[in-house]
Amino acid sequence: MKLKTKLSFGLSFLFAVIVSFGTLSFFYINRLSNDAERVLKNNHESLVYANNMLKALEEIPANKDAFRIFEDNLKKQEANITEPGEKENTEELRKNFTELTINPADSSNYTQLRQSLQIINDLNENAILKKNDIVQKTVEDARFWLTLIFTLLIIVSITFIYNFPAIISNPVTKLSEGIRQIANKNYNQRVYLEQKDEFGDLANAFNSMAEKLDEYEHSNLAKIKFEKSRIETIINQMKDGIIGLDDKKNILFVNAVSEKILGLKESDIIGKYSADIALRNDLMRTLLQVETKKELKIYADEKESFFSTDIINVLANNEVIGQVIVLRNITPYHELNEAKTNFIATVSHELKTPIASIMLSLQLLENKQTGPVNTEQQLLIGSVKDDANRLLKITGELLNMTQVDSGKIQLSIINSDAKEILSYAINANKSAAEQKNIQLNISVPDQLTVVLADSEKTAWVLTNLLSNAIRYSYDNSTVDLSISSANKKIYFTVKDTGQGIEPQYKDKIFDRYFRIPGTHKEGTGLGLSICKEFIEAQGGQIIVESEYGTGSTFVVLLNAAV
């Protein structure tokens, strides 16, 4: 039987019993009410009328109203005849009263009148007793049936209250326990119910689900374990350090490379809070503080090694559920870069000697004491001299670049005269400015704070900036040079009137070897990069402002001397 049918049957039965109990109660109460009404309305009224007539009879003929009172009550009695024999006595009473009315002085009818009234009283009193017995019988019947139905209702209700909760709660309890076991991955759990109702169907569906989950668990467990082992093998064979964290920053895994770098065993830190590990491990503390890619120098494999850090967020439904910290070993690239730097430094240094000899030979050729030269020879000497100067500049830039790469920039930061530094740059580029007929507008205040700088490196930077300004300015134009001070800073400004820099190239001009496409100007693309490194090494800054078509402005900021 279905649970719904059981509930419907039980509730319908209770409803029927309640309706029956209510109907029977209403029936007996109505019956008792009618019986009581008949006793009060019929027999009791007849007794009242008879007593009133007896009192009036005693007052006849002294009281003139006694005839009227007797007549009124007699009429009421005639209209209220309910018992057998009451009609005959009432008619006899009317007859005798009529005779008395004709001859009030004749008292012979008094006896008949009293006798009739007494009989009427007796008849109604006996009727009241009989009807009282009937009412009592009705009460007894009502008490019996109502008690019986009430007892039956109590028994059924107690049975319903005792059994019905078990019908609902027992299956729910068993199903809840089964669900908890499934949640704990105990897929062998089964729920057995003898009920053939909806709970039985639910138990069968639960057992089918548990069976499918059990099959799925066993069929995929080996595959999952294999994939886990394969991934662990791949991670451990990687040359990069891999550290896995969950969403609460607990350590999930650490590969062999990371173990060496951290100096910790995976078995000792797995499952532990990474911040707790960071308290006693400097590298872990650094890794947790790094939010972007960063290069680290770490002592590993008995030598200094270089690693780049990369933090990868693991996402699920657009929520971060963990992180993977990757330490990529870039030591070989550093070693290659160092070898390259050493090679460039060596070659550049070796090239300076023959270039210096070439320059000396050119000076001797230009000296008239060595002999006259014709016009064509003079042009060739000029061309060779320009090429030699270009080679000398390139080798100088390469040597400066090697200092930057090796981190061995040699600085002599002292109180220096800003005017002298700018004058050096002007003198170095005066000839180039004259060749293009470019006017140099110089603005230097008389009272100028001394700059705190390496005068040689700063002069080289200003020379390079002024050379670029002259190179990219149009013929017969102007280049503005100025020095100013504010907020304990010295500002060297070089402003040209050339074409300017296109917006897409503005952020790239300080990159090494970068040359703006289409310029076709001489240079290695290292000058601005080296300028930036030299100024920042002194705690300064280079700012560029440019609007394409109107020229560019370079500003060098250095600290003023205290």
Per-residue pLDDT tens digits of the chain, which is 562 residues long:
565 666 676 667 667 767 776 777 767 676 666 665 555 567 788 888 888 888 887 777 677 788 888 888 888 888 888 888 888 888 888 888 887 777 777 677 778 888 888 888 888 888 888 877 777 787 788 788 878 878 887 887 788 777 766 666 677 777 787 788 777 777 677 776 766 667 677 777 777 777 777 776 666 656 666 666 777 677 776 777 888 888 888 888 888 788 877 878 887 888 888 888 888 887 788 777 766 566 777 776 667 777 777 777 888 778 888 888 887 777 777 666 666 656 665 665 566 678 777 777 777 777 777 777 787 877 787 778 777 776 766 676 666 666 655 555 667 889 999 999 999 999 988 888 998 999 999 998 888 778 999 888 898 889 989 988 998 888 999 999 999 988 889 999 999 988 888 888 888 888 877 777 766 555 567 778 888 888 888 889 999 998 888 889 999 999 988 7
Q: Decide which of 314, 329, 344 is a domain's last residue.
A: 329
Count of CB atoms situated within 10 Å of the CB of 498: 19
Tell me which residue of 170, 173, 211 sits closest to 194, measured CA to CA: 170
Q: How far apart are CA 530 and CA 523, in angstroms?
A: 13
> Which pLDDT value is given to residue 408?
59
Range of the domain at 350: 335-405
Residues 311 and 374 both lie in one domain = no
pTM for the structure as a whole: 0.42
The domain that holds 380 is classified in CATH as: 1.10.287
The domain that holds 472 is classified in CATH as 3.30.565.10
| Same-domain check for residues 153 and 255 | no
Considering its fold, how many domains does the chain have in total?
4
pLDDT at 437: 93
Residue 443 pairs in a beta bridge with: 482
Q: Burial of 365 by CB count in 10 Å (0-12 exposed, 13-18 middle, 19+ buried)?
A: middle
Mark whether 373 and 263 lie in a shared domain: no
pLDDT at 407: 58
Terminal alpha carbon distance of the chain: 101
The answer as to whether 212 is a domain residue is no
CA 37 to CA 216: how far, in whole Å?
Answer: 82
433 in a structural domain: yes
Q: Using DSSP, state whether 202 is helix, strand or coil.
A: helix
DSSP assignment of 240-273: SEEEEEETTSBEEEE-HHHHHHHT--HHHHTTSB
The rounded distance, in Å, linking the Cα atoms of 325 and 311 is 5
Identify the domain boundary among 295, 329, 363: 329
pLDDT at residue 352 in the model: 64
